[in-house]
Structure 1
């Protein structure tokens, strides 16, 4: 899974009253972890039921989207040759459509089919070692990349080239949205859900205060909170390039790829945080903006009215700037 920059969730157990308590469950998921915090009311579901529901949803997401388990629907599709189709659940097809939207909006910079490139450079599930590939190997891998090789036919996902899909840039955000929707259906009104760093908060804590998240300042050695923000009704995603990288011959290569070039991006944008009502879209847009870089990403965010914070490297550290929509969101 791509690295994220959210330090975590700042919560308080003070002020609980009228039979409401703050419950917390957590565990492993998608190669990382999840945390669910919610206000339990006397009429609400028992913690044991919440945990069962949450883990069932996360297990289902892993079985559909994981690139690290050979029995997932995604990896089964990836092993198919060109000119093949495979029946897929509705949400897999939904994420393919979201990937197509993001690919078109970014002129192909964002692409769900970059797994062969990730493997080649040492960042993917089938990678052997981190290294700069030869031009010949790079040209060969690029023949197996391109969202245009995918198409949806009825309830099937088809491909006309041996492409491999990788949903890691949007699957966690999707999982968070599924969890929030399910818990709300169970009668949980106030909650904060986090999976692999993507999160969404709705409502308030038992004492009436907002859920709060800390956005991390990019550092290789330790975590430093840059901003602490109140969140209500928004998904939050942060993408960064400063932890998952390697160096060769004095050159730094991150795991953030521009699909149009077939290689890691070369710019000074270190991290992007996005707020969106859909955690799925926050997840996708944070990746897309990081791929585009400090200026193209900024222009894209302004054009598409995205609530985003950009953290850029400068000679003496980092500078950050936020879009007008982001400033509006945090003032709500």
Structure 2
């Protein structure tokens, strides 16, 4: 099974044993080329863990069938293989994410764009990529003609395109899946849980001992895992986007898998990773990518202007420096 997100956002977590009468249940498994994990405090009205796992995996399976660019039979890949001036009926979740992508594209003046799959393939990062390499200017200019959210149109229940664009949901699909799982858990009367899929997560309520869920944000290193910061989360999605696990080097330059649709090229600034907290895991997922693309100055200003809770990690020589805004500090300033 192919991955909706080639490299999972680097969020990890540990659960402390409960000391009260409530019981912590947990299960997980493979999904979308990565893994998922659900931890929750048992509710008297909830189904058995086995039945709940079946329902969660049904959600994840549907997202994969609809949105994966790593399986040729997915709804979005069948659309991507259509020529220009084509339409295809789409499930409501796909149309929802297209609308979300349009909002993020407009908000970032085109830096964030769901139609970058041809560019990802060209640079070597996409599902149809052949090799990691810097393309020549003529080829890059040609491929860029097939990129741009303005080429997509929703007509009723159909998704249409006036150019041979290809949609890639890697930047928001996992967050959407986490929101769907969170809705399922809440609807079943489970109000204390941590739901994670391919690195995107949402934590609500408390652990059995009454303490908050604790999330470890990783330092953006490609050689080992080091916790940069540990935060307490209640009621928010958490997403980290970084340029440090999927890249290549050529002629002494480093090329990340994170592309700026305005230039058609990988980002080159010193912002290594961005973590965003948001009530919606979908929006946390998309906004962390948007801020990473915009970079250390434009991204920071955007987060401040729109009151987005953000934690930036920047490269400074061989070291890293961090910066978090007031919204981030307020949302993580929970009682232990």
TM class, shorter-chain normalised?
over 0.9
TM-superposed deviation, 1:3:
2.8
Q: Confirm or deny that 1:236 pairs with 2:250.
A: no
CA contact (8 A) 1:5 1:215 kept: no
From 293, 296, 302, the equivalent of 1:291 is: 293
1:326 aligns with 2:328: yes
Structure 1 residue aligned with 2:142: 140
Once residues 293 and 11 of structure 1 are traced to their aligned partners in structure 2, the CA distance between those partners, rounded to angstroms, is 33
For residues 184-263 of structure 1, what are the structure 2 equivalents within 5 Å? 184-263=186-265
Equivalent positions of 1:59-208 (< 5 A) are 59-208=61-210
Which deviations, in whole Å up to 9, do the C-alpha atoms of 1:109-167 show, x marking residues without a partner? 00000000000000000001101111121111101100000011111111000000000
Tell me, in whole angstroms, the C-alpha distance in 1 between the residues paired with 2:44 and 2:34.
Answer: 32
TM superposition shift of 1:30: 1.2
Q: Secondary structure at 2:131's aligned position in 1?
A: coil
What TM-score, normalized to structure 2?
0.96
SS of structure 1 residue aligned to 2:176: helix
Aligned mates of 2:114, 2:73 — CA distance in 1 = 19
Whether the 8 Å contact between 1:45 and 1:187 is mirrored in structure 2 is no
How far has the Cα of 1:16 moved from its partner? 3.6
* Higher alpha-carbon deviation: 8-17 or 176-185: 8-17
Number of residue-to-residue matches in the alignment: 330
Mapped partners of 1:4, 1:326: distance in 2? 21
Q: Which sections of structure 1, spanning at least 5 residues, go unmatched?
A: none
The correspondence for 2:16, drawn from 12, 15, 34, is 12
Where does structure 2 lack aligned partners over 5 or more consecutive residues?
A: none
Cα distance in 2 for partners of 1:196, 1:5 equals 7
Residues 4 and 240, structure 1, Cα contact 8 Å, conserved in 2? no
Divergent runs of 4+, >4 A:
none
Mapping 1:31-50, distance limit 5 Å: 31-50=33-52
CA distance in 1, matches of 2:11, 2:42: 25
Q: CA separation in 1, counterparts of 2:312 and 2:287?
A: 12
Question: In 2, Cα distance between the equivalents of 1:43 and 1:96?
Answer: 35
Deviations 1:272-323 (A, max 9, x none): 0000000000000000000011001001111111000010001240111111
| Aligned-pair CA distance for 1:44 | 2.3
* 1:3/1:240 contact within 8 Å kept: no
Q: TM-score, normalised by structure 1?
A: 0.97
Say which SS state the counterpart of residue 139 (structure 1) adopts.
Answer: helix
Alignment partner of 1:293: what SS? helix
Task: Return the offset for 1:7.
Answer: 4.1
